[in-house]
Amino acid sequence: MVALRPVAEDGHLEAPEAAVRGRRLVIARRVALVIWVCVLVCRSWTSGLALNRELLLVYICTGLIAASIGRRRLFLVLRDWLPFAAILLVYDFSRGAATLLGAATVWEQQPKMDRWLFLGTEPTVWLQEHLKHAHPPWWEVLTSTVYMSLFVAPYAVGGVAWLQSRSSWRAFVRRFVPLWLVALIFYAVIPAAPPWAASRCTPAEVAGGPSHPACMARSGAQLADGGLLGAMHGSQTGAHDYVERISTRGWATLHLNAARALINEGQASVNLVAAMPSVHAALSAMVALFLWRKVHFAWRPVLVGYVVIMAFTLVYSAEHYVVDILAGWALAAIVAVMVNRLEVRAPAGMVAVRR
């Protein structure tokens, strides 16, 4: 006589069949995650870190698919992360948007505003005069790591939020997407050059607001007066007496010169006149604000420290002006306030929907 499998009212197999199937899915999920980690490590070791945001998104989505085995429908990964892919593609196209719209690049206003804020002193010049050494000190490992973390941290936080619940994921998307969209509008309408570029160009070379003048490709050593940024009036023993772009220099301390070269190559391929507002500053502040109520209070100083160290790194390494950072923080704060108000007013059912 053939025994029939007992079936529950909801159509699922009762134990032990359901338990066996559950164990198999857990094993499959763990194996998939191990394979994903191995592939990620091997590719990073052989091809360098994923600075290309599209590739990073592929890494995250495949990792989420692996982590979702036996938990939820896999097509949700593609559906939910499609807005991120769209934003990153738009960012890549923003490199030529300003030229297409005929917008002149801002070169001189930002250093003028920084000097006004600091009573005639240009912050990047001052920091490199007093802190830059011939060889990167130990703390530049920290600054380079913090700088690079923004290529990963927001998407990693989004991935964790996606795995946690639908409500947490929606809360993250409601902050991330508007922030990026506003920044992209600024980059297209008001493109702005960063400090490292200003240190290589003279006022005459950027007259009319070109977006990619030839002077951007040369070394600051060729300009005795420091270009638009101004000359350094001193330096540490053996250090170059001109402003340099040194956001990745800390990797040399760890003897990761190959990784540093790949990072520099990746930096050269993105929008070079997207300084205002600073997305690094805005995203670090957004991540900190998003996590503020989700973490134990003992971790909150770490979030504050992350935002502050990021700001210091951006100015010291000549990636951004102080006004760029203030604009990024303001953008993150405005988005957070507006989204918080919308969430408070929204019906509880719309905010608390879970997977």
pLDDT of 209 strictly over 70: yes
Q: Which residues contact 21 (CB under 8 A, 6 or more apart)?
A: 13
Q: What was the pLDDT predicted at 60?
A: 75
Taken in order 121, 122, 127, 132, the sign of the CA dihedral is negative
What pLDDT band is residue 342 in, cutting at 50, 70 and 90? confident
Considering 123-132, 165-174, 175-184, the range whose residues carry the highest mean pLDDT is 123-132
CA pair distance 42, 40, nearest whole angstrom: 6
CB 228 within 8 A of CB 192: no
pLDDT of residue 17: 67
Cα separation, 291 vs 287, whole angstroms: 6
What confidence category does residue 245 fall into, taking pLDDT thresholds of 50, 70 and 90?
Answer: very high
| Span 19-25, average pLDDT | 70
Model pLDDT for residues 272-302, shown as the tens digit of each residue: 788 899 999 999 999 999 999 898 999 999 9
Calculate the average pLDDT of the chain: 81
The residue extents of the domains of the chain are: 14-93, 100-351
- Average pLDDT estimate for 8-37: 68
Using DSSP, state whether 233 is helix, strand or coil.
coil
State the pLDDT at residue 268: 52
Label residue 266 by pLDDT band (50, 70, 90).
low
pLDDT band at 97 (very low <50, low <70, confident <90, very high): low
Which pLDDT score, from 0 to 100, does residue 332 have?
96
Rounded to an integer, the average pLDDT of 240-261 is: 74
pLDDT the model gives residue 2 = 47
Q: 110-115: list long-range contacts, CB under 8 Å, 24+ apart.
A: 110/192, 110/193, 110/195, 110/198, 110/275, 110/276, 110/321, 110/323, 110/324, 111/195, 111/198, 111/228, 111/229, 111/230, 111/321, 113/321, 113/323, 114/321, 114/322, 114/323
What is the average per-residue pLDDT within 5-14? 49
Q: What is the mean pLDDT of residues 156-163?
A: 86
| Alpha-carbon 222 to chain mean position | 32
Please compute the mean of the pLDDT values over residues 158-186 and round it to a whole number. Answer: 88
pLDDT reported for residue 184: 87
What is residue 271's predicted lDDT score, i.e. its pLDDT?
Answer: 66
- Tell whether the model's pLDDT for residue 350 goes beyond 80: no
Q: Which of 124, 159, 36 is nearest to 323 (CA)?
A: 124
227: left (phi over 0), alpha (psi -120 to 50) or beta: left
* CA–CA gap between residue 206 and residue 200 (Å, rounded): 10
From the centroid of its chain, how far is CA 96?
21
Q: What is the pLDDT of residue 36?
A: 76
Share of the chain above pLDDT 90, in %: 35
Specify the higher pLDDT residue, 50 or 334: 334
Q: Which residue has the tokens 């359901």?
A: 18
Average pLDDT score over residue span 325-351: 84
| Residue 106, helix vs strand vs coil | strand
pLDDT of 354 over the 50 cut: no
Q: Answer yes or no: is pLDDT of 20 > 70.
A: no
Name the band, by pLDDT with cuts 50, 70 and 90, for residue 353.
Answer: very low
